[in-house]
Amino acid sequence: MVKIRMARGGRKRAPIYTIVAADARSPRDGRFLERLGQYNPKASDDKVLIDVKTEAISKWIKDGAQLTDTVRSLFKKHNINL
């Protein structure tokens, strides 16, 4: 099963999360299928989500991928409709 989830990156106390499509059995920061955007929780409100590929996310969802609860609530909070 493919999940659309976040992989952690960045430095200590300065995380930057990459939104990825990954196999559910892969580790959090392990192998992924496609990079779909970035989330920077420390940035100002207009720069929190960076380069989100909504068309690619819609394609993955159409093919059976599931959003994790965290990614779903993040998209809902920032008005990204899929």
Residue 22 lies in a domain: yes
Q: What CATH number did the domain enclosing 49 receive?
A: 3.30.1320.10
Q: How many domains does the chain have?
A: 1
Q: How far apart are CA 22 and CA 54, in angstroms?
A: 16
CB 57 within 8 A of CB 35: no
CA distances from 57 to 6, 10, 12, 37, 53 (A): 13, 23, 29, 10, 6
Looking at the domain assignment, is residue 59 inside a domain?
yes
Domain for residue 42, yes or no? yes
pLDDT at 6 over 90: yes
Write out pLDDT tens, residues 8-66: 999 999 999 999 999 999 999 899 999 999 999 998 878 899 999 999 999 999 999 99
Q: Residue for token digits 């892969």? A: 26
75 burial level (CB within 10 Å; 0-12, 13-18, 19+): buried
- Domain span at residue 38 reads 2-77
**Reported pTM:** 0.91
Residue 19 within a domain: yes
What's the pLDDT band for 82 if we cut at 50, 70, 90? Answer: confident
The whole-number pLDDT of residue 46 equals: 80
Examine residue 82 and state whether it is found in any structural domain, yes or no: no
- Inside any domain, residue 48: yes
